[in-house]
Amino acid sequence: MMQISSDSASNKHSLINVMHRFIAAANNMDETIMVPSLLRDVPLDEQQQQQEQQQVSKLEANNNEPPCPNKQRDMYEHYLLLKSIKNDMEWGLLKREMSSGASFLEMAVKQEEQQPVTGDLLLDDNSDLEHQFHYHLRGLFGVLSKLTMQADHLTNRYKREIGGGNFMR
């Protein structure tokens, strides 16, 4: 069994630390947001929300019907996405397979498993493994950092919205 040294676990730039920060932010988000359904139809972007309110005000003044807005992801859908990603990270693909749901990660793994492996392809893949590893590691760091910021933003925005009573329309 491989053990993680305390030096690598305490390094703020380690993958494990970045993963823990995201999971902690997602747990904080989940603990803070007591009524997730209040997030429905609340745009992710505060500027977008202000623009939509201005458009509705103009249309009401002209007695026109509001146009059907483009299907944009709201805070509720974003909350569910972040929560799902956290669960996938904590439980892996096995739990999702058991519940018969298909994540993007699971579909990618199955697609890669279905590709035929030839001797030449295997040699090419192995010779470039270090490059592939570093490429995906940089991507994983970037994605996890963004997800952490989004979870923190969603939590803070929920606190502001609830505190201001903007959900009670």
pLDDT (tens digit per residue) in 2-38: 455 555 556 878 999 999 999 999 999 999 999 999 9
> Residue 56 has what pLDDT?
47
Apex CA 117: angle with CA 114 and CA 122, to 5°?
A: 135
> Residue 152 has what pLDDT?
96
Q: Is residue 157 part of a domain?
A: yes
Q: Is residue 139 part of a domain?
A: yes
55 SS3 class: helix
Which range of residues forms the domain containing residue 42? Answer: 6-164
More confident residue, 140 or 6: 140
pTM: 0.64
Distance from C-alpha of 139 to C-alpha of 84, rounded to nearest angstrom: 19
Distance from C-alpha of 26 to C-alpha of 5, rounded to nearest angstrom: 25
- Burial (CB < 10 A; 0-12, 13-18, 19+), residue 113, is exposed
**Residue 167 near residue 38 (C-beta atoms within 8 A):** yes
Is the pLDDT at 144 greater than 90, yes or no?
Answer: yes
Distance from C-alpha of 70 to C-alpha of 81, rounded to nearest angstrom: 19
The structural domain count of the chain equals: 1
Is the pLDDT at 169 greater than 80, yes or no?
Answer: no
Q: Which of 147, 142, 141, 143 is nearest to 25 (CA)?
A: 147
Q: Is residue 26 part of a domain?
A: yes
Model confidence over 49-101: pLDDT tens digits? 555 455 545 555 555 444 444 445 789 999 999 999 999 999 886 665 566 55
Q: Is residue 111 part of a domain?
A: yes
pLDDT band at 104 (very low <50, low <70, confident <90, very high): low
Residue type present at position 152: D
Distance from C-alpha of 167 to C-alpha of 33, rounded to nearest angstrom: 13
Q: Is residue 169 part of a domain?
A: no
- Direct distance between the N- and C-terminal alpha carbons of the chain, in angstroms, rounded to an integer: 56
